Amino acid sequence: MPILELKTNVPLADPKPFLLEFSKVSRTVRSLAASQELKIEQFAAATLGKPELYISVSYHYNENLTFNGSLEPAFLMTVTSVDNLTPVRNRVYSKAFFDYFESKLGIANDRGYITFFDPGKANLGHKATTPGIISIR
């Protein structure tokens, strides 16, 4: 149940097309862990290995977001996901997301941070319960 919260100082005239593309775009990502190419049909869903059904993406524009003492294009993103965040996978995810933001938003890969957070199944609610209960049923 990945939740991707993107904060950036890059304005989007209409963020909806960007958010939909970010959830679905075809992309090839090189796996840093296995050095093999992974064909990605739906970018965020497949990058994180979770069904698109559970992907939630939000965009927050903040013209005052600074990074390294400047207002040049930058971003902060939090990825909250259950059972698929590890140090090795996070490097793969990080590369994929940084490449995507550089390509689509013009943000250099030294102008942002991604925070990866796994709250655990018991600490994330969905469908009036938690994923731990959903997967048991």
Q: Taking the domains of the chain in order of start, what are their residue ranges?
A: 3-136
C-alpha to C-alpha distances, 104 to 14, 99, 108, 127, 136, nearest whole angstrom: 14, 9, 11, 33, 39
pLDDT in tens, 67-78: 999 999 999 999
Classified by CATH at the fold level, domain 3-136 comes out as: Macrophage Migration Inhibitory Factor (3.30.429)
pLDDT tens digits for range 36-82: 333 333 567 667 777 777 788 889 999 999 999 999 999 999 999 98
pLDDT in tens, 108-128: 999 999 999 999 988 888 888
